[in-house]
Amino acid sequence: MAGVRLAHKDFIISKDVTNTLQFDNIFSQRYSAYEILGHNLVSSYGGIRDWLRMGLLDANGNVIADGNYQSQRNDINSNSTSTSQGSVNNSNSWNFSRYTDDSFGTNFRAVIHTPYESDSITMFLCESSSNNSSVLYYYSTAGVHQSAERITGFRLYGDVYEVIGGNISVFGIGG
């Protein structure tokens, strides 16, 4: 998708610092959808595959943790001929990929539809890939935030361990 780049962050954070990666006031009425690209995101703890999560932000920069995130995920890995599925209902964020401290990191492409429109639900589509030792993983996730409210940004974080490196770009599309 072609769009206008609204933000870009390259970051490396000390493993000793508790952090989150937050984009405040990035969504507006100018665009109906946003593309978020993540490249080489890594975890703060060796070898552990932690879930990468996204929480949406309200106009005050607070994570909306209202239990209204729903998602369905399909997982494929290079070590198996089968796929697995997972669904998350009534959650406080979307979990959409595993990530580790491997040199490959995690890469993802997400599209968020209608986040700023307070009279509609927000839709989320994401494809991601990661690596753990010799196994490659692919995740495809679709989700909704079922509360009709104005969303102005997002926060990325791990379930247990922090995101300490990589880069993120955000593009406005459909304006």
Region 73-78: what's the mean pLDDT? 86
Torsion of CA 95, 101, 102, 108, to 10 degrees: 30
To which residue do tokens 């495809």 refer? 140
* Residue numbers of the domain that contains 59: 21-163
Give burial (CB, 10 Å; 0-12/13-18/19+) of 146: middle
Task: With respect to residue 170, please indicate whether it lies within any of the assigned structural domains.
Answer: no
Return left, alpha or beta for 145; rule: phi > 0 is left, psi -120 to 50 is alpha, else beta.
beta
Give the pLDDT score at 3: 63
Task: With respect to residue 173, please indicate whether it lies within any of the assigned structural domains.
Answer: no
106 three-class SS = strand
- Rounded to whole angstroms, the Cα distance separating 160 from 116 reads 29
Give the pLDDT score at 19: 57
Q: Is the pLDDT of residue 84 over 60?
A: yes
Structure tokens, 49: 């595959």
Structure tokens, 55: 């929480």
Structural domains counted in the chain: 1
Give the pLDDT score at 102: 57
Kindly report the average pLDDT of the chain as a whole number.
Answer: 80
Confidence bin at 53 (pLDDT 50/70/90): confident
Task: With respect to residue 86, please indicate whether it lies within any of the assigned structural domains.
Answer: yes
Task: With respect to residue 9, please indicate whether it lies within any of the assigned structural domains.
Answer: no
Whole-model pTM?
Answer: 0.85
Start-to-end C-alpha separation, the chain: 12
The answer to whether the beta carbons of residues 166 and 39 sit under 8 Å apart is yes
Task: With respect to residue 119, please indicate whether it lies within any of the assigned structural domains.
Answer: yes
CB atoms within 10 A of CB 127: 15
Task: With respect to residue 12, please indicate whether it lies within any of the assigned structural domains.
Answer: no
Task: With respect to residue 112, please indicate whether it lies within any of the assigned structural domains.
Answer: yes
Structure tokens, 132: 């753990």
Region 5-25: what's the mean pLDDT? 64
Task: With respect to residue 175, please indicate whether it lies within any of the assigned structural domains.
Answer: no
The answer to whether the beta carbons of residues 12 and 155 sit under 8 Å apart is no
